[in-house]
Structure formats: structure tokens, C-alpha cells
Amino acid sequence: MKFKINGRIWIEAEERFMGIGRLELLQRIEQTGSISAAAKQMGMSYKRAWDLIQSLNSQANSPIVSTQTGGERGGGAVLTEEGKRWIVKYTGLQQRFQEFMEQESVKMELE
């Protein structure tokens, strides 16, 4: 039988800080400029997305997402430079983790 190692990796501080779902949320906010639109694309409630953003912003050294309250032109959300750095950091970590799991899967086949 052929086995494959699988797993997920996340970063924790006081609580879960960054994982694949939060990464996707940040990427979609960057694309859409909106927490609401990002949540909708992910099939997530606005409240859940807002809670995740609040958690990220409260644990990071500086805010990850900056929001603007709605008005005549509506509200919006943008990633800060800190948010963009975390996308790069976590994406790199996730890639290295995937490579590790692939290497370990190959080792299991040889044993």
C-alpha cells in the first residue's frame, strides 16, 4: 500500500494566528478590497471574517488589515504592509512544509 503524509501547519501566539484559511481570507481581501466580498467568496459569514481579522490585528505587532467605515463611497479594507509581509512569510512556510511532507512520503516508500 502506498502512503502519503498529509498535514496542515499554522502559527500560534496567544491563540491561532495564521493558517491556510486566514491566508486565503487575506488574499481575497487584497483582491476585492472588501471583507464582505472576501467572506462571500469563501462561503463564510461576514461576522466570522470580521472576527478573524480582529484576531489577526490584535495579535500582530501592527495591524494586518486596515478598514474604512462605509459612507457615500462605501467602506473598504486593505492589507497593510504588515499584512502583505505575513502573506509572503506564511506562503513560504506552507511551501516548505509541503516539500517536507513530500520528502517524508518518499522516505516511507523506501523503508
Grouped pLDDT means (10 residues each) for the chain, 111 residues:
86 92 97 96 97 96 88 77 97 96 86 66
Domain span at 29:
14-110
In a domain, 8, yes or no: no
Phi-psi region of 33 (alpha: psi -120 to 50; beta: other; left: phi over 0): left
* CATH code of residue 30: 1.10.10.10
Instruction: Check residue 74 and give its pLDDT.
Output: 61
In a domain, 84, yes or no: yes
Query: CA-CA distance, 8 to 44, in Å (whole number)?
Result: 20
Instruction: Check residue 71 and give its pLDDT.
Output: 55
In a domain, 40, yes or no: yes
How many domains does the structure of the chain reveal?
A: 1
In a domain, 2, yes or no: no
Instruction: Check residue 72 and give its pLDDT.
Output: 56
